[in-house]
């Protein structure tokens, strides 16, 4: 009977102590976990401001600025008027002066104006008003738009952008 016991594993207090020691952290494991946690917290603390700096204001939503586009006396309510504007804007890291072209026309003898951005929706060219043909034309890619800005033909994927406008203090204001 003792021969049978020789092949059997001994179950004693030492084995139970080994089982308990598997649940306890040794010094090396504790240092590894601590180092990983400190590194992770440091990466987040440094990384988030760095990402915000690199992106600048490109991620934050910006509301349009109201710009005085033209004095009403300079606009002919019977015609499509070409209007240029300048605005100071903040780029990701710097202040820049941006210029643009708009077209404004009135359907109610100057009481209000419809304002279209002159940027072609295809590749960003500036469209031109063709009064004899009563439409806008892109000089680069043969795109054509109605007076209201809808696409007639050409490669443009969508209409010209209509911008919010208002009349205040005898001037036409446009939200850019």
So where are the chain's domains? 2-55, 66-175
User: Does position 25 have pLDDT exceeding 60, yes or no?
Assistant: yes
pLDDT at position 146, please? 87
What DSSP string runs through 111-145? SS-EEEE-B-TTT-PBPEEETTTTEEE-TTT--EE
What percent of the chain shows pLDDT beyond 90? 7
pLDDT at position 7, please? 52
What DSSP string runs through 50-93? HHHHHHTTSSS--PPPEEEEEEGGG--TTSPEEEEEEEEEE-SS
User: Does position 126 have pLDDT exceeding 80, yes or no?
Assistant: yes
pLDDT digits (tens, 9 = 90+) for 151-172: 888 888 888 899 998 888 888 8
Binned at pLDDT 50, 70 and 90, residue 9 comes out as: low
User: Does position 138 have pLDDT exceeding 70, yes or no?
Assistant: yes
What percent of the chain shows pLDDT beyond 70? 81
**Cα Dmax for the chain:** 119
Using an 8 Å Cβ cutoff, are 100 and 84 in contact?
A: yes
* Confidence (pTM): 0.60
User: Does position 86 have pLDDT exceeding 80, yes or no?
Assistant: yes
* CATH class of segment(s) 66-175: mainly beta
């Amino acid at each position: 009977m003792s021969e049978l016991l020789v092949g059997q594993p001994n179950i004693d207090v030492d084995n139970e102590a080994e089982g308990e020691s598997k649940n306890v952290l040794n010094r090396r494991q504790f240092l590894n976990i601590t180092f990983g946690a400190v590194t992770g917290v440091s990466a987040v603390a440094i990384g988030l401001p760095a990402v915000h700096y690199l992106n600048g204001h490109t991620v934050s939503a910006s509301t349009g600025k109201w710009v005085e586009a033209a004095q009403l006396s300079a606009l002919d309510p019977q015609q499509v008027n070409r209007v240029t504007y300048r605005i100071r804007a903040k780029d990701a890291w710097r202040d820049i002066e941006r210029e643009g072209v708009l077209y404004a026309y009135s359907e109610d003898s100057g009481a209000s104006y419809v304002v279209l951005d002159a940027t072609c929706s295809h590749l960003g060219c500036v469209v031109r008003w063709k009064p004899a043909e009563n439409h806008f034309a892109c000089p680069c890619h043969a795109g054509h738009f109605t007076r209201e800005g809808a696409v007639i033909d050409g490669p443009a994927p969508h209409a010209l952008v209509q911008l919010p406008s208002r009349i205040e203090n005898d001037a036409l204001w446009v939200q850019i």
